Structure 1
């Protein structure tokens, strides 16, 4: 009797945790097509739309953020964690899960705690150069740790034993050939002939600071036809941004969009990106070799976006621009010469170290699969109940490729 691989992934809050979790699920399905995969999140984050939209079940639990700003409410955290951990234990048992994965964000810690309660193996993946509070806690509950960046090891309990697998990115990003996709991308975004593209990408929901600077820059460049600004605003700011561009007479030089559903097209069309420095974004830029101006979100816990940004800026693949300095005039002085110098942009792209990011989803999937198979069963192709599992030869093959 064959037992399918069963995995529960905790990921939520922002796209920076959710998209890598989806990339992992995609890799697990490539490895084991009939794998049973579900996610745990809360009712408050983007997971409520992104995960069901990708075709995976989402179980929601009652959890509050690991946030000092909670003030007196922080005393509710232990009780909330125990309650949500018990809820996750029920999810794991109900699905017959063999392993649990925490991708960071506050839904991640209950999954790891629930696995501990259920006596199941678990693994966490830390995506940021400075680990988040949820994973700092979860790292004390499992010996199995994977990180995107080497520099986060020192900040995690047991981090010296962590595997640096990179940041899981989607297959479209991992396999992206920018040159081959460029013409299609320019048509998709209606870029005028001969114009260089400056992409503003403020994260999952947009960024008011970046949008403000982009509108101001578009107003200053409204008579230019050799540049084109593509501004992702997030849905809430879309109509106001479009009105401001029209009022400034900048409608021909800039286009505002609520989302970038096809990031492969966005990276293919962009000559230069101005964006936040979330870990997923930094990994995608490193993988695709797109030069960037990185504007770290100043209120990120532990200032982790600045540490993320330095992975690229220290290599010469990006410029780091503090949030407070991100104005239209400052950007015009910085990005104007860059857009006018294709050789310099190309050199920045070559300076990016792609690392393991393109392979990270498969490397992390291999680690998850190994945890799902008790080591003493590798030679017998059966689980700890004596039932036959999926073909162990795949797992051994992944170990070799890793």
Structure 2
């Protein structure tokens, strides 16, 4: 009796509605589909389909809620999780998946738990340097933990054997810029600085960066071409701060639709330190001054930034130290040292993993093969005994 084939069974991707979880899930879906594997997405009410580019991926929505707030909120969250677990169990019986891949966040919890209850192999993916709270709940049920960072905290020692470093998949448009060479600013030529503060921009950037640039010598300011993402409500105030500063170029927008092109063209980025931002910076290989969002869960952005800074690929500036004087001093140092910028760009490029989606798919399929091999050996042993 041979092991039951799973190549025709779907692989379930469990991801929440936030971009940090959805981007890597979509990238893995593309890779698995290209390899001829069926894929199904399970998400919550905030989640959406992978878009027009992947219309063949079915979407199932189940209930979930993050535990938090007062007693009533906690009871409500537990009730929602319970309903989600019932739905996920029914889904496991209906789809009989070959594997489940969880991308963190509480929307993945019911699906991963249901997979474990139904003896479906589970891989969870952690995008940050700190194992997220949902993934801490799920790690015992997982056979593999795919990670983006070389060092992971908040994980028990007896679970470290499950770790495989795959990187954090990026969008195809970002991966396409992997081969774009970095040319440090030279002579009296332009200095291109890109400022991004998350999906809605960061108010502190709109307040501090203009003041810092105003403290730089006029000869330096005239070379700076600044592209900055601002919160919509901060756009006009930021524009007023830059007025009359004599920059070589200025673009202020609430949202950039061409981030891969802008990253590839910039000499220095000033950004937060979220997982997707780190993955994109290092895939293309650009030096960055990282200002972690101070209220991120478990301060994971600081942990992300520290690892990149330790690799020589970025400079960490905590928000408490992100003042106009400190930033002006740091920019003066960096912009006056093109060789240092080039070294950081090279280190970032060496740290990045453009093939993260492929590595992640390899890890998922290896887990399935390992499980099938174990089942096949068990079946063969039983057959021989009979």
The TM-score bracket by the shorter chain reads 0.7 to 0.9
Question: What corresponds to 2:372 in structure 1?
Answer: 375
Q: Which one of 195, 198, 202 corresponds to residue 193 of structure 2?
A: 198
Question: What corresponds to 1:107 in structure 2?
Answer: 107
TM-superposed CA distance for 1:141, in Å, is 1.5
Question: What corresponds to 2:16 in structure 1?
Answer: 12
**Within 2, Cα distance between the matches of 1:222 and 1:86?**
64
Pairs within 5 Å for 1:7-46: 7-32=11-36, 35-44=37-46
Say whether 1:327 aligns with 2:323: yes
Structure 1: any 5+ residue segments left out of the alignment? 183-192, 380-402
Question: What corresponds to 1:74 in structure 2?
Answer: 74
Report the CA distance shift for 1:343/1:222 in structure 2 as closer, same or farther (over 3 A). closer
Question: What corresponds to 1:290 in structure 2?
Answer: 286
**Within 1, Cα distance between the matches of 2:241 and 2:351?**
44
* 1:134-157 Cα shifts (integer Å, max 9, x gaps): 000011222222222232166156
- Whether the aligned pair in 2 keeps the contact of 1:230 and 1:256 (CA below 8 Å) is yes
* 1:171-217 Cα shifts (integer Å, max 9, x gaps): 443342464699xxxxxxxxxx9421111111233222223333444
- Whether the aligned pair in 2 keeps the contact of 1:174 and 1:357 (CA below 8 Å) is no
Match of 1:9, SS? strand
TM-superposed CA distance for 1:282, in Å, is 1.9
TM-superposed CA distance for 1:284, in Å, is 2.6
- Whether the aligned pair in 2 keeps the contact of 1:9 and 1:39 (CA below 8 Å) is yes
Question: What corresponds to 1:212 in structure 2?
Answer: 207
TM-superposed CA distance for 1:273, in Å, is 0.8
> Which sits farther off after the overlay, 280-289 or 369-378?
369-378
Pairs within 5 Å for 1:3-402: 4-32=8-36, 35-44=37-46, 47-48=47-48, 51-52=50-51, 55=54, 56-67=57-68, 70-72=69-71, 73-152=73-152, 155-156=155-156, 158-177=159-178, 179=180, 194-217=189-212, 224-233=221-230, 237-238=231-232, 240-242=234-236, 244-246=238-240, 248-249=242-243, 253-352=249-348, 354-355=350-351, 357-373=353-369, 374-376=371-373
TM-score (norm 2): 0.81
State the Cα RMSD in Å: 3.2
TM-superposed CA distance for 1:117, in Å, is 3.5
**Within 2, Cα distance between the matches of 1:259 and 1:238?**
9
- Whether the aligned pair in 2 keeps the contact of 1:178 and 1:268 (CA below 8 Å) is no
Question: What corresponds to 2:382 in structure 1?
Answer: none
TM-superposed CA distance for 1:87, in Å, is 2.2
Question: What corresponds to 1:190 in structure 2?
Answer: none
TM-superposed CA distance for 1:317, in Å, is 1.6
**Within 1, Cα distance between the matches of 2:164 and 2:319?**
32
Match of 1:205, SS? coil
TM-superposed CA distance for 1:96, in Å, is 4.7
TM-score (norm 1): 0.78
Report the CA distance shift for 1:19/1:340 in structure 2 as closer, same or farther (over 3 A). same
Aligned residues: 360
Report the CA distance shift for 1:149/1:2 in structure 2 as closer, same or farther (over 3 A). closer
> Which sits farther off after the overlay, 2-11 or 80-89?
2-11
TM-superposed CA distance for 1:78, in Å, is 3.5
